[in-house]
Structure 1
């Protein structure tokens, strides 16, 4: 019964949408108004002819003709909506007919005591649903004036017609019942269309939630959701003392060769088939998904290492026998698998890194193998029997000794390039950074000459141990020869992270090393280069680290230098920038640039985002990624943030006073600013002091920060919003897994993160990326929020966003960040055009 009801409701909604213009269907408020116009006409269609018949039978045929005439005008409303594309015209024609109908009947049936007098309330009630408060107030005024006029006319000597009917009591009854029925039916129709709107919103949310956890190509879990599930299993193991789980990292062998030989479409077929094959093998409690590229991750709860190895072998055996007749008759694939068991107290990243280390050993050993962490290559090369079980797999603490430096026990130079290539590929896939650190022992020749070669070897062993102790288990340290060491640091968020590790290493050498009965101070010079970087491959990265190390040697002992194409920075950039940052505000070294935001409907600039830069007198332009983190650490982000806000507001006011079109200025708030007790008062004070129109100021807050304390933030943001300031959620879709906060927090704008935009506009790209971006836009519009897309860089991305109904966009496709004078020049070019549409 419920399904049948939903079916008819759906058909009704579909039918009335024929009358509604496409542009109105893209906006929740307009769609609701348009639907209600048609609902009101349906109400008239149900009641109008019936009452015309009733008046005719009661002896008042003129009233019957009048009612039918008014109904005819009411029936014009949907077609006016369809062909004029104006909700206002259709609405007012309908309301005029309603108002005239009941005013005429009340006048002709004897005035304020007529059975139809109460029906005069229908015009303002219906107007509320059709046009909102303003429309309702207008028609309420008209109805009140009509009642007063009808009441006053007899007092002024103008008698009312007062046409008699055969049974006035029956007419009263019909009018009362009809009034109740019409109002209830109309409210019911309104509820049906409103409910359908919420159903569509729920469907959009479900699509977003599903796409947020699925890899678009294979349909398996994506990397982010996989890590979340593994974190949940880790918490369960730690809190409940459950059996540990195992991680399997699977990599399809020679996958690039498949793409190069058969094309990327064939590669996609291989990935989908591989994922489906593994999914058929796993249990319901297992978690499997695409980790990136041709790598997949499998988590096996409450599974011993031995059982995980057996299962991995069965997967390897099955994959080896896969066929791909749709691609090529002779195409076969194999998979290398690294296995690691979770150890209490370690992070998920450490467990995955150990599985990755095992995967590396499997690939180094000839591929198409299963290796667990710590297992030697010789054991990994043992033949697998037909049952899929390994012929014994003892765990060894050391790796392949042929690849190790015999003096220090570190890996030797022969594995460096392979390890580095592996790390660089993973960095690109995971959108993280690799730091390559070159460490050279200063004046090591003097140690050998003064203490002897054996003492020199002892120093190198101690240096190796100290460096290794400062690194994570996932990092790689190699003795590249003589007195030089190379460290590969993976999964870095920014170049400064590598410098922190270098400084930590140097701190270990503040005290002398014991060399037999003597002590010797040792100092290092450290050069750092990072990847990804423009024009950088393995050889370039090694060369850059060597260049930075040479620069560190020139600066003196225990120096760290990060490679830069500009003039070299002084030793320990981090410390120098911290010290100089305190002077930046006082010495007017901070500047603002502004990136325009474009209305996709009019192609006009409607806003700008304020971006802070540091013009250092000695080191030149320093980008925010190198100093904002330091400002957060030192607390300087609060005064810097207030300076940015005040300067941006003053500039906006200056543009307005110059007669330029009104635009909105967006300013970012940091986590520390948001937690500051006086933030709200300071923002309001800046708005008052600078004289900026509150509607011209937008505060951008990253969603991960926004949900830390929802209730506190809700109260503060509501205060700002009540003052007319716009609130924007920055990087939407990347920071928090729940969408419930959208209903709780007072926000006006969603800024769609670059990760949703970057995959649009590409030929042959899966429709999942398109569906995800479109769902976000439609969801935001249903919540009556504006959508701004970030990082638009191609015409294809712009075309897709415009087709989806995205409101605004910014990115290099339009403009890079510009100075205030360049923005002023762009706005001057718009001065003669119609005023820009502001974010409402």
Structure 2
């Protein structure tokens, strides 16, 4: 009999032990196959009870669950019970009852013990596989879905033909780096956890929420509650404990949305809302943007530009154009700005490629390429006896993450033996404080080495006052947006007031001011009267080719401001 029982146990184990991730499925499979051994061991009733620690990864339906099997022959009240302790301190208990009117012998109880152990092994294996399955599909910090889990659910919705009932919502927490700096990394994790928990709770059965990493979250939301969900995202508040004090925090987000259709693919589910979010993140006015097909076309265009850049740089397809700067008091040429142009089938203006290179980081290579080209031109003019004017070269603020930036610039200038007073590095004004300390150190070093520093687009960021007060900048450039609205017809003009105030403040701090985008004599006259030192714009010259600019250097350097060029 023992051999027969062992044979049936082996068949029972084979039938049940295949890879199963769902605990309820495991219990159902055990129940379905107990008939193989039930008669041999006179089994009337079987039950297994689990008391296990709660975990964010615990497979559903496992904690505190009991599953039973009952024979048609009925069962006796006599109980054979066996308990096993799990590694986490949980308890798995199996209870067996003989068929009605039967009592197990001590020898038969050996087989019962075998069955209990086998049951524990099978269930533990299923539990482990269930945990592994969930871990692979869950975010370790929050327990929310990760990218794998999210795509699996989206795939099921697509396969079931119901994906058109949903919208994808890609969310990013605004200024999360600053929040981390304010409250510390541990509290930053708590912000992420609270955000995930509250958002998942709000969605409930109306969607699926995932964390893709960092402060980036992707949700599938039933379109019927989309507007309520967006309103919820604008009203998330929490209180943290920071250095023993309560720290109230209102979480602000940027959001990209894609309204799905029954024909939506996995690529559209995962990508389109992300493209919309990128647009929102670049906007100073829109926190929520809905995907449109034009965004995809723009993305493809941007990728083409980025992929062509490095070969074009090696092939020297980038040219330097020079836009003159004019002294408003003397109307004489007093400087110029070196501007990049991309020559392919036609001349491509910087607005079409600079933002793309900024986003993907290649702007670093272009900036140094332009600086070296300028150094070559300056060296050539000096060797031929042509006296250059102060030449400004643009450098993106992303260079500030390079701690060797100063050395690399000074090394390049020294290689061509360029008088340092003929060069100016023009930096875009910071729109946040991320690089502020690094900016101060860089400006100080350049200033100490005799290279001029100009702050571009001044007046467009909230850090303007702090910059002008603390930096040793030589020049600040008034942003074109302030100049455009300076017109004769304007009576009460806020841009005039702001421009005049900036010019006055800079002059008192011994910082020169240049206005860009000057196109009319009225603008030039207003700026001169306000105390602005220099101007550049189409009133004087458009950006000039190398040869055109050289003719200007070797000719009459005085401008007739009474006519618009």
Q: TM-score, normalised by structure 2?
A: 0.49
Q: Determine which structure has greater relative contact order: mean sequence separation of CA pairs < 8 Å that are 6+ residues apart, divided by chain length.
A: 2
Structure having the higher strand fraction is 2
Q: TM-score, normalised by structure 1?
A: 0.34
Structure having the higher helix fraction is 1
